[in-house]
Amino acid sequence: MSITDKVKAAMTIKGKKNSELAEYLGITNQSLSNKFNRGSFSAEDLIKIADFTGSKLNFEFDDNNKISFSVEDIRKS
């Protein structure tokens, strides 16, 4: 499953609309459409999408260790 498919699945599970995500990310609907078409989501985008959908973005290891990312990890400009 591609990144685009996974983002779309998360949106469907939470009943969110693309226009709501675009607004949350601070981009136009067209820019979001381009990200979907190209599969060009940055790490920051994915962290924000996880926050938007009420989910977690994690690195999970075979030994059950886990590192989670949140919006607090995003560098402030």
Name 60's Cβ contacts closer than 8 Å, sequence gap at least 6: 66
Q: Are 53 and 11 in contact (CB under 8 A)?
A: yes
Can you give the pLDDT at residue 25?
Answer: 97
Q: How confident is the model at residue 76 (pLDDT cuts 50, 70, 90)?
A: confident
> For residue range 2-42, what is the model confidence (pLDDT) as tens digits?
999 999 999 999 999 999 999 999 999 999 999 999 999 99
Q: Which fold has domain 3-73?
A: 434 Repressor (Amino-terminal Domain) (1.10.260)
3-class secondary-structure state, position 51: helix
Q: Where are the domains of the chain?
A: 3-73
